Amino acid sequence: MDKRRMCPHCRAFITTDDKVCPYCETPVGPRAIDLRGGGEFIAGLIPPARFASTIILSLNVAIFVILLLASGRSGQGGIMQIDQWTMVRYGAAAPLLVFREGEWWRLITAGFLHWGLMHILFNCWAMMDVAGHTEEIYGTPRMVAIYLGSTIMGFFVSMLWRSGIPVAVSAGASAGLFGLIGAMVAVGVIHRKSEQAAMIKDFYLRWAIYAFLWSLLPFFRADNAAHAGGFSGGFLIALAAGTQRGFPHPSDKVWTAIAGILTALAGWSFVRMFFWLLAASK
């Protein structure tokens, strides 16, 4: 796994092992997870610099296992292709359900579901890289806000785009992933004078183009409207948030609050999904 990150002071590439930036000699303080006395056991299991990234990745995998079990019981799907009814029951988005039935919570839950093994493997591979880098540069609260905010934005755009097909079903973590890519592209805009930031922007801009072209392959059930919405949402949220600084800043509390609100909204969305699932099972 790539251990690069960016020094919050000089924007040079350093590693997650560095305690002091070798370029500007600025101390790179411990991450918030290192300061959580009650979470020492968890901190020992999860890389401190990629705390939220690891949690999000684990949630996606755990939910995919649940989908596999549910699809297997229905006898209609398998590991390579989860059946559509199972996806809908567990929170996939469709214009009919979102706009007509008012099930807005699906704009979040859909971002944690995957259609099959190849779908989740590709997204998890991408998440292991881009999510970790985004968390390093923006910090955990901003990264969480970017990921969840761009997931909502991505599926909202997707539902608008597919509104002429009310029963079109969409799901996948790629809306949030494209949001993170958009945030990495925004680094070059936030720090226009930094050559390192320009390199990051160019690298992830190429990644966005390659990912879009890859999604055009016929064996992918790609939702490019969600990708475009997620990318735009992540880019705009990142511009508003700015990258994390090497010292405490008043905006840190603002983005911690925003991340907390969005996390609570995600939790509420899954509670709504659970009750919808119970009602649909009767």
The answer to whether 174 is a known catalytic residue is yes
Is residue 6 situated within a structural domain? no
The answer to whether 194 is a known catalytic residue is no
CB 171 within 8 A of CB 93: yes
* The one catalytic residue among 114, 119, 191, 227: 227
**Residue for token digits 């259609």?**
115
What's residue 48's pLDDT? Answer: 58
What is the domain count for the chain?
A: 2
Q: Which amino acid, residue 258?
A: I
Claim to verify: residue 153 and residue 18 sit in the same structural domain: no
Instruction: Determine the structural domain holding residue 29 and report its residue range.
Output: 14-45
Q: What is the pLDDT of residues 55-106, one digit of tens each?
A: 999 999 999 999 999 887 766 666 778 989 999 999 999 999 999 999 999 9
* The one catalytic residue among 114, 174, 191, 269: 174
**Long-range contacts (CB closer than 8 Å, 24 or more residues apart) made by 45-51:** 47/16, 47/132, 49/5, 49/16, 49/132, 49/135, 49/136, 50/131, 50/132, 50/135, 50/136, 51/135, 51/140
State how far the Cα of 73 lies from the Cα of 150, in Å rounded to an integer: 33
Q: Supply the pTM of this predicted model.
A: 0.84
Claim to verify: residue 31 and residue 106 sit in the same structural domain: no
Q: Residue 222 maps to which CATH number?
A: 1.20.1540.10
Element (H, E) at 13: strand 13-15
Q: What is the pLDDT of residues 145-184, one digit of tens each?
A: 999 999 999 999 999 999 888 889 999 999 999 999 999 9
Residue 16 binned pLDDT confidence (cut-offs 50, 70, 90): low
Claim to verify: residue 155 and residue 254 sit in the same structural domain: yes
Is residue 5 situated within a structural domain? no
Q: What is the pLDDT of residues 177-219, one digit of tens each?
A: 999 999 999 999 999 888 888 898 999 999 899 888 877 776 6
